[in-house]
Amino acid sequence: MDDIKKILVKVSYYYYKMGLTQGEIAERLKMSRQRVNRLLKRVRDEGIVTININGFNENYVDLESKIEEKYNLNRAIIVPAIRDFHEVNLALGIAGADYITSLLHDNLNIGMAWGNTLFNIANSLADNTNHFKNISVIQVVGSLNEDDGLRQSDEITRITSNKLNATPYFLFAPTYVDNINVKMELMKEESINNVFQKMSHCDVMLYSVGEVNAYYSAISRVIKIENYDEIIRSGGVGNIGLRFFDKNGNFLDSKINEKVMGIDIDTIKKIPDVICVAGHKRKVPAIVAALKGGLMTTLITDNITAKDIVDYK
């Protein structure tokens, strides 16, 4: 479903099914009341609304609405689930690429983290379709010494900037350092400091939440096992670029978080649109925690994960 049709369905659902006023819809969708009025006329003219909302999966709209309302999200986007985890990630990648493309404008600063889902987003972007000027793509997490099953953030930044004809900003630093003094010295390097300054001007940031699970995750091969044990003892359930948070979305007061070479917590919370793209049952606790902590403004997920999020206790 393309973006305008999705908006038309949401306006229809809010007005005809939930009984919201045009003013309430305008506030929820961050648009003028006049535009809501025009959209409602259009849905009637195009036959999207008769007695019911026709032609679209109403259950997805219902799930999106429930998640948006429960967690005060700007937007939830749900794609059809495919049982195979790899196929779900590919579908999420396409949806993420479509969403980013819809946001493009002159002077846009896009922050990119790491992971297979973001790699799929980068590769799903159409080649040479961007005609806007001065777009920047910023690597917001340092690089790993080896792949370890996680797609490198520098590779994702390179692919994204090439697809969008944008300027890349690479963070030439490791993801994690064992000694905080090493981090402080690295931060003095002009090339590194400049990228951190650029992070503070991000308009949009994309990440895929990581779960804390030694069986599924490559995290335990990135940091020392005793540090991993500390995360578990401290109640860590998820991470954004190796910055760990608890079940309420509060970042752990831990030296581990301090040793990460990447965008800091305060900067993340100041970015206008922080987009989490994630799916699968095993990630539900981490996604819910991130939602509780206000660590995203937009969520892109699949319908099975979305239902689990709504039902999660």
Taking only the tens place, the pLDDT of each residue in 64-81 is: 999 999 999 999 999 887
Residue 54 has pLDDT above 50, yes or no: no
Higher pLDDT, 82 or 104: 104
Let me know if residue 65 belongs to a domain: no
- Does one domain contain both 136 and 274? yes
Find, among 220, 210, 207, 204, the residue nearest to 244 by Cα: 210
- Does one domain contain both 16 and 114? no
Residue 1 has pLDDT above 70, yes or no: no
Label residue 309 left, alpha or beta by phi (over 0 means left) and psi (-120 to 50 means alpha): alpha
Let me know if residue 140 belongs to a domain: yes
Least confident range from 42-46, 119-123, 235-239: namely: 42-46
**Count, residues in the chain:** 313
> In this structure, what CATH number is given to the domain that contains residue 25?
1.10.10.60
Residue 53 has pLDDT above 50, yes or no: no
Quote the tokens at residue 129: 């379709």
- Does one domain contain both 33 and 156? no
Domain coverage including residue 133? 70-311
Residue 55 has pLDDT above 70, yes or no: no
- Does one domain contain both 143 and 240? yes
CA distance 1 to 215: 36
**Contact yes or no for 208/274 (Cβ under 8 A):** no
- Does one domain contain both 39 and 175? no
- Does one domain contain both 125 and 77? yes
Max avg pLDDT among 83-87, 198-202, 262-266 = 198-202
What is the reported pLDDT for 229?
Answer: 79
What is the reported pLDDT for 226?
Answer: 65
Let me know if residue 153 belongs to a domain: yes
- The residue-averaged pLDDT of 246-273 equals 93
Q: Exposed, middle or buried: residue 197 (CB in 10 Å: 0-12, 13-18, 19+)?
A: exposed
Residue 107 has pLDDT above 70, yes or no: yes
Quote the tokens at residue 98: 């479509």
Let me know if residue 188 belongs to a domain: yes
**Contact yes or no for 140/199 (Cβ under 8 A):** yes
**Contact yes or no for 209/283 (Cβ under 8 A):** yes
Split into its structural domains, the chain has a count of: 2
Let me know if residue 91 belongs to a domain: yes
Residue 140 has pLDDT above 50, yes or no: yes
> In this structure, what CATH number is given to the domain that contains residue 200?
3.40.50.1360
Q: What is the CA radius of gyration of the chain?
A: 20
What is the reported pLDDT for 283?
Answer: 94
- The residue-averaged pLDDT of 255-267 equals 91
Residue 52 has pLDDT above 50, yes or no: no
Let me know if residue 217 belongs to a domain: yes
**Mean model confidence pLDDT for the chain:** 87
In the sheet that holds 210-211, the strands lie side by side as 210-211, 238-240, 243-245
- Does one domain contain both 126 and 227? yes
- Does one domain contain both 190 and 247? yes
- Does one domain contain both 250 and 114? yes
**What is the SS3 string spanning the chain?**
CCHHHHHHHHHHHHHHHCCCCHHHHHHHCCCCHHHHHHHHHHHHHCCCECCCECCCCHHHHHHHHHHHHHHCCCEEEEECCCCCHHHHHHHHHHHHHHHHHHHCCCCCEEEECCCHHHHHHHHHCCCCCCCCCCCEEEECECECCCCCCCCCHHHHHHHHHHHCCCEEECCCCECECCCHHHHHHHHCCHHHHHHHHHHCCCCEEEECCEECCCCCCCHHHCCCHHHHHHHHHCCCCEEECCEEECCCCCECCCHHHHCECECCHHHHHHCCEEEEECCCHHHHHHHHHHHHCCCCCEEEEEHHHHHHHHHCC
Q: Which residues pair with 249 in a beta bridge?
A: none
What is the reported pLDDT for 83?
Answer: 58
Quote the tokens at residue 173: 């630093």
Let me know if residue 63 belongs to a domain: no
Higher pLDDT, 188 or 37: 188
- The residue-averaged pLDDT of 201-225 equals 77
- The residue-averaged pLDDT of 109-137 equals 90
Q: pLDDT, tens digit, for every residue of 153-209?
A: 899 999 999 999 999 999 999 988 889 999 999 999 999 999 999 999 999 999 999
CA distance 284 to 287: 5
- Does one domain contain both 148 and 278? yes
Residue 216 has pLDDT above 90, yes or no: no
pTM summary value = 0.80
What is the reported pLDDT for 87?
Answer: 74
- Does one domain contain both 33 and 84? no
Let me know if residue 117 belongs to a domain: yes
Least confident range from 53-57, 217-221, 230-234, 241-245: namely: 53-57
Give residue 183's identity as a one-letter amino acid code.
K
CA distance 201 to 170: 15
